[in-house]
């Protein structure tokens, strides 16, 4: 397999495809149904994730996008069936909210290594029309397993988590992970982020599959993040420009 990616089998039909050599440490997830495969996010785009997917399955692939930030849509160009929330359709099809220069600066910022042979000058932000628009409550069924779309705005307007009730899996994107949770960009909303965390606490979650960093995290982290937001709100600083709040295993920047 392409040595840029690390593949971990979570169960017989579910794989994590990770980019540990970059500081973002992105995770994408391949879910095998009986009729199709679902790929949740496609990572940085500095190596061809479709090569890994093709080694793991011969099924046709639908890409579900947690959100249309550059580090989650980099490999979208290798697939022809892409879904994104309605509020971020234009980020793909019309104009990405950051310039190419800004994205390249983030991509190459230290500490990171990039694959040998990758030319940052040739890097382009994915641009294309999604084939499907996602909305809260949609069910995606690739055959034998149902994936619920849960709109969880805050980190971005159209951010979605994906939930498999039968397995108790929550694919949490950039809503829940160990590291710095960002709600300070112009397109973020700290209050909505807090509301989204409270919302997913209502789900029966047995395993979190995050978008970045440490892959094996306890479900109790959701409650801890909610409590962190509650403390910030109580201080009167739950608004952009509020600062960086350190809670040990995670930080919240607003």
- Which tens digits make up the pLDDT trace of 192-233? 999 999 999 999 999 999 999 999 999 999 999 999 999 999
26: left (phi over 0), alpha (psi -120 to 50) or beta: beta
Domain of residue 43, CATH code: 3.60.15.10
- Asked whether residue 245 is domain-assigned, the answer is no
**Residue pLDDT, tens place only, 79-99:** 999 999 999 999 999 999 999
pLDDT at 1: 47
- Asked whether residue 242 is domain-assigned, the answer is no
How far is residue 103's CA from residue 162's CA, in Å, rounded to a whole number?
A: 26
pTM for the structure as a whole: 0.97
pLDDT at 39: 99
pLDDT at 116: 83
- Asked whether residue 173 is domain-assigned, the answer is yes
Tokens of 3: 């040595």
- Asked whether residue 244 is domain-assigned, the answer is no
Domain containing residue 214: 6-179+191-219
pLDDT at 112: 74
- Asked whether residue 250 is domain-assigned, the answer is no
**Residue pLDDT, tens place only, 171-186:** 999 999 999 999 999 9
pLDDT at 249: 94
- Asked whether residue 247 is domain-assigned, the answer is no
CA 70 remoteness from chain centre: 10
**Residue pLDDT, tens place only, 112-137:** 788 988 998 899 999 999 999 999 99
- Tell me the β-bridge partners of 162: 149, 171
- Asked whether residue 20 is domain-assigned, the answer is yes
Total number of domains in the chain: 1
**Residue pLDDT, tens place only, 25-62:** 999 999 999 999 999 999 999 999 999 999 999 999 99
- Asked whether residue 31 is domain-assigned, the answer is yes
């Amino acid at each position: 397999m392409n040595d840029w990616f690390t593949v971990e089998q979570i169960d017989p039909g579910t794989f994590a495809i990770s980019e540990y050599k970059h500081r973002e440490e992105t995770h994408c997830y391949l879910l095998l149904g009986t009729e199709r495969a679902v790929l949740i996010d496609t990572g940085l785009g500095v190596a061809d994730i479709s090569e890994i997917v093709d080694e793991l399955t011969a099924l046709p692939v639908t890409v579900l996008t947690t959100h249309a930030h550059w580090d989650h849509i980099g490999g979208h160009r290798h697939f022809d069936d892409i879904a994104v929330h309605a509020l971020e359709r234009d980020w793909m099809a019309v104009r990405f909210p950051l310039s190419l220069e800004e994205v390249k600066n983030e991509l190459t910022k230290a500490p990171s290594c990039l694959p040998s042979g990758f030319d940052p000058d040739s890097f382009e932000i994915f641009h294309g029309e999604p084939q499907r628009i996602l909305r809260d409550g949609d069910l995606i069924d690739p055959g034998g397993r149902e994936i619920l779309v849960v709109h969880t705005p805050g980190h971005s307007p159209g951010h979605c988590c994906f939930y498999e009730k039968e397995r108790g899996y929550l694919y949490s994107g950039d809503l829940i992970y160990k590291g710095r949770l960002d709600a300070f960009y112009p397109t973020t909303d700290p209050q909505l982020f807090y509301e989204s965390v409270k919302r997913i606490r209502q789900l029966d979650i047995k395993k979190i599959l995050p978008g970045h960093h440490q892959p094996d995290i306890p479900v109790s982290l959701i409650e801890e993040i909610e409590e962190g937001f509650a403390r910030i709100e109580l201080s009167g600083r739950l608004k952009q420009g509020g600062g960086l709040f350190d809670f040990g295993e995670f930080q919240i920047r607003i």
